[in-house]
Structure 1
């Protein structure tokens, strides 16, 4: 079986995540980008302009998610890794941190190693093009390989980006398409670090906001994040998420009160939170 899904960034603008997720349960989202500004004569380090919308959209509607940073040839790889970590926050089990490395002269292996060493994410992939990787990343295993051609490359890889002009439900403009040789469950199993299911991971308020993709407490989504925080009473680890499934009635009551106060749809908020819990696959 072949699994098909998109990778997206600010170039896709407004994505209808409900429509996309109804047809495709995997996605890769650009979290951050680095680039050289001729006007400012310096390297820019920033989050993707649609990250704030795409993170909750992807986590609500897709069961598997990858997040990547584009590393410009002028960027400091360690600073870029810190940008990625600050932007994404703690990864959920099964989520993948991806370095997009397709620029630079000479051997780029050392810059890749610096980025991954600084990031030290539970699951780390490298993306590059077939030609670039052969000339600038000798001996490096490319997990996500770009090659816009009819036949899948023989160079070893886990995921093949085979086009930059695919059409997807919920995405108005054509964008990148990817092929994985296996099922969604295979992909999830491939990228789930078993140690995450056993090790406690205490989180602070900012971590929780990043995990859920909520910008703050002054809107409906932020309110749902606050309720999540209240339920777990200050700390959470990956195993405790299971306990929330037995507290759905209490959570629903709290969400109904929130929705009444803010004029939102309580059922919709409840479904979104419960779907997030179920999507963790813990």
Structure 2
């Protein structure tokens, strides 16, 4: 007998179809559910964990950026409680100021620079780069060295030391290039790199340069290097016998515990007569003390 002629069978069939449809709908929803879970976990990692890691990465990057790029130069933005000159806060307690220059400063207007001898923070001395390594001379040295004397500055010359080049070759090159005269500051050795030399080899080479130059000019050379370099690589007592010119930027005072004569306290000075930023220095003594240090 067909369901068409049997009302009871027709009702049962209708219920069966309805149940099947509901079951199918439930199965379809169940099959889609894992997909939503997968979107939340993104490659197997829960969203909350991914967010925490992102925050940690950003935090670490911010700390590293501050430590390496902001903290070392924070002194630039500190309030200046003393005298501000040449665009920077001048260290308190020093009366004798000076600069050091090289070809990086370009052509200097010496007439205009000379006017800085009459400011509240007068410039008295100028160091100039003369040589580097065994054969590289600074292109502006001859003109700067002559102009410094002609415009009334106490002048000095320095050599940039290259550890990989023979120390005596470097010393002889400096001697051939620089003719110091009465009233000039002693020759300067600028040491900033170790090269591939170990500490002992580095110190031996530096000492050879110092000995050769001292024997020629008859005066102990000035040793220039940073505070950290000096304490790490030139901590031998033999180097304490030389006048020390310390490079230590963006601090209120020199932290070095030993004796020092010059302090290069900034590399961002703005001095009339020089278009580019320039290093500023102070001498640890009076003007008479500075003159006593010069070649007789």
Pick the TM interval, shorter chain. Answer: 0.5 to 0.7
User: Can you list the C-alpha shifts for 1:50-83, whole angstroms capped at 9, x where unaligned?
Assistant: 1121111111113311110000121211111111
Corresponding residue for residue 277 of structure 2: 174
Corresponding residue for residue 146 of structure 1: 247
TM-score, with length taken from structure 1: 0.61
Corresponding residue for residue 98 of structure 1: 188
Corresponding residue for residue 9 of structure 1: 102
Corresponding residue for residue 28 of structure 1: 127
SS of residue matched to 1:127 = strand
Give how far 1:182 is off: 2.9
Choose between structure 1 and 2: higher helix proportion.
2
Give how far 1:85 is off: 0.8
Corresponding residue for residue 212 of structure 2: 118
Corresponding residue for residue 163 of structure 1: 266
In 1, Cα distance between equivalents of 2:263 and 2:148 = 20
Specify every segment of 5 or more residues in structure 2 that has no aligned partner in the other structure, as ranges. Answer: 1-93, 117-122
TM-score, with length taken from structure 2: 0.58
Correspondent of 2:151 among 29, 40, 61 = 61
Corresponding residue for residue 135 of structure 1: 232
In 2, Cα distance between equivalents of 1:83 and 1:97 = 13
The equivalences for 1:200-215 within 5 A come to: none
In 1, Cα distance between equivalents of 2:245 and 2:180 = 22
In 2, Cα distance between equivalents of 1:157 and 1:12 = 26
State the superposition RMSD in angstroms: 1.8
In 1, Cα distance between equivalents of 2:126 and 2:148 = 7
User: Can you list the C-alpha shifts for 1:62-109, whole angstroms capped at 9, x where unaligned?
Assistant: 331111000012121111111111111243334220001111142432
In 1, Cα distance between equivalents of 2:162 and 2:114 = 30
Specify every segment of 5 or more residues in structure 1 that has no aligned partner in the other structure, as ranges. Answer: 35-43, 197-282
What is the aligned length? 184
Corresponding residue for residue 192 of structure 1: 294
Please identify runs of 4+ aligned residues in structure 1 that moved more than 4 A.
none
Task: Give the greater-gyration-radius structure (CA).
Answer: 2
Confirm or deny that 1:72 pairs with 2:162.
yes
